[in-house]
Amino acid sequence: MFGRTKSNAVQSRIDSLIGAGTRLDGDLSFSGGLRVDGEVHGSITSDEAQPGTLVISEQAIVEGKISVSHAVINGTVLGPIVATGSLELLPNARVTGDVEYHQIEIQLGAVVEGRLVHQAGGRAHELKLASSS
């Protein structure tokens, strides 16, 4: 609808859950939708053949690289994020690491300690402060 193709459509269904009180040590790969309410110590990657949506809840902690097509973050991420589609940072999001995105929404209260890099047409465009040279 409105120019969206199947390859960049947001996954609205959650297929997997890492519950509160659960800690996962190691890299994680998924397809479809994944919600994290616990802790993940390792990278999280969605299947490149299908768009994947990652939801990180307010109490969740992820230590590692995130590479997905779509992400909604309201918890803590310690590591870089690459969102090839869209990235939504909710008010309780705390990201320590560089963020690469195609589309981004940052709500009031979200914090990013790192670079914001816009990916457009395969090229990266780093956002800099107005006072930066």
- Report yes or no on 63 lying in a domain: yes
- Report yes or no on 1 lying in a domain: no
Look up the pTM and report it: 0.82
Long-range contacts for 42-51 (Cβ within 8 Å, ≥24 apart)? 43/67, 43/79, 44/68, 51/6, 51/7, 51/8, 51/9, 51/10, 51/11, 51/85
- Report yes or no on 2 lying in a domain: no
Q: Over the stretch 2-59, which tens digit does the pLDDT of each residue have?
A: 444 444 455 568 889 999 999 999 999 999 999 999 999 999 999 877 889 999 999 9
Residue 47 is part of which domain span? 15-127
Q: Over the stretch 96-132, which tens digit does the pLDDT of each residue have?
A: 999 999 999 999 999 999 999 998 765 555 656 555 5
- In the chain, how many domains are there? 1
